[in-house]
Amino acid sequence: MHKAPAHKARKRFGQHFLSDQTIIEKIINIINPQKHDHIIEIGPGKGALTIPIIKSVNKLNVIEIDKDLVNFLKKTIDSELLVIHENDALKFNYSKLNHSDLRIIGNLPYNISTPLLFHLLSYKNLIKEMLFMLQKEVVERICAKCGTKQYGRLSVTLQYYCNVESLLVIKPDAFNPSPKIDSAIIKIVPLVQPRYKLNSDESFKIIVREAFSQRRKTIRNGLKNYLNEDEIEKIGIPLNERAENLHIKDFVKLSNLYYQLQNN
């Protein structure tokens, strides 16, 4: 390890660096890195997790968009086991790593967490599990149950394709600089077999997005440009129900109906 120059957190990248050693150790225990794991760390920052993980694995890939942090990591971590991809995690092609059992981890910047989760879902067949630190509020939305205020597009989409579990709440003082809100660790495991048979990922994406685009609207009004009332009633979904009160299987039914009508 070499001495590296100080790095000031950049607001535009949503940087908050983990600095509490007790919390870092707890997170490393949750990750439990093994020698042959194919781990990718998104946003390694100053290496709070990178440095302990690299002691346990044969190779560690990290994705970092900040050129200064890339240089910081190169100067701080003198190891042939570290592969740094200077790239945007939102545009990164995860299939180029040539593994189908990726473990993706990271302290995700708040400003990209939702689009990044949707991007990673397109690589779900290559991912064994994801362990992310996110805003506590985002974790609550992902894990939300049908009928609650937090339940939405993120909940339905991630819970259809994955098992999700909130593991650990982290207070702002564990970071430097401190964010204004609590964070939480979430475990997201893509399902080998989906919960319900879906005819089209694209139809599902459209129906879930539109159903939640105006939350106060009933399904009758929210999906009127996609499905008519008779068709919705035929599959047993009440027209006056709001999206937040529909189960995942209801969205699958609506999506399959939409796909069927589009392809007849």
Q: Rounded to an integer, what is the distance from CA 24 to the centroid of its chain?
A: 20
Q: How far is CA 203 from the centre of its chain?
A: 21
Condensed to tens digits (0 to 9), the pLDDT of residues 28-70 reads: 999 999 999 999 999 998 899 999 999 999 999 999 999 999 9
In the chain, CATH 3.40.50.150 sits at: 11-190
CATH 1.10.8.100 residue ranges in the chain?
A: 201-262
The architecture (CATH level 2) of 201-262 comes to: Orthogonal Bundle (1.10)
User: Quick one: DSSP state of residue 59?
Assistant: -
Sequence-separated (6 or more) residues with CB below 8 Å from residue 128:
101, 102, 103, 189, 190
Q: What is the C-alpha separation between 29 and 27, in angstroms, rounded?
A: 5
- Judge contact between 208 and 181, C-beta under 8 A: no
The reported pLDDT for the residue numbered 175 is: 84
Burial-class residue 25 by CB neighbours within 10 Å (0-12, 13-18, 19+): exposed
Residue 137 in this model has a pLDDT that exceeds 80: yes
Which positions ≥6 away from 98 have C-beta within 8 Å? Answer: none
Do 255 and 207 form a contact (C-beta atoms < 8 A)?
yes
Instruction: Quote the tokens at residue 70.
Output: 């890339």
pLDDT band with cut points at 50, 70 and 90 for residue 6: very low
pLDDT tens by residue, 73-122: 999 888 899 999 999 999 999 999 999 999 999 988 778 899 999 999 99
| Cα radius of gyration (the chain) | 21
Residue whose structure tokens are 């225990």: 29
Fold of 11-190: Rossmann fold (3.40.50)
Count of helices and strands (H, E) across the chain: 10, 9
> Taking CA 62 as the corner, what is the angle to CA 133 and CA 7, rounded to the nearest 5 degrees?
80
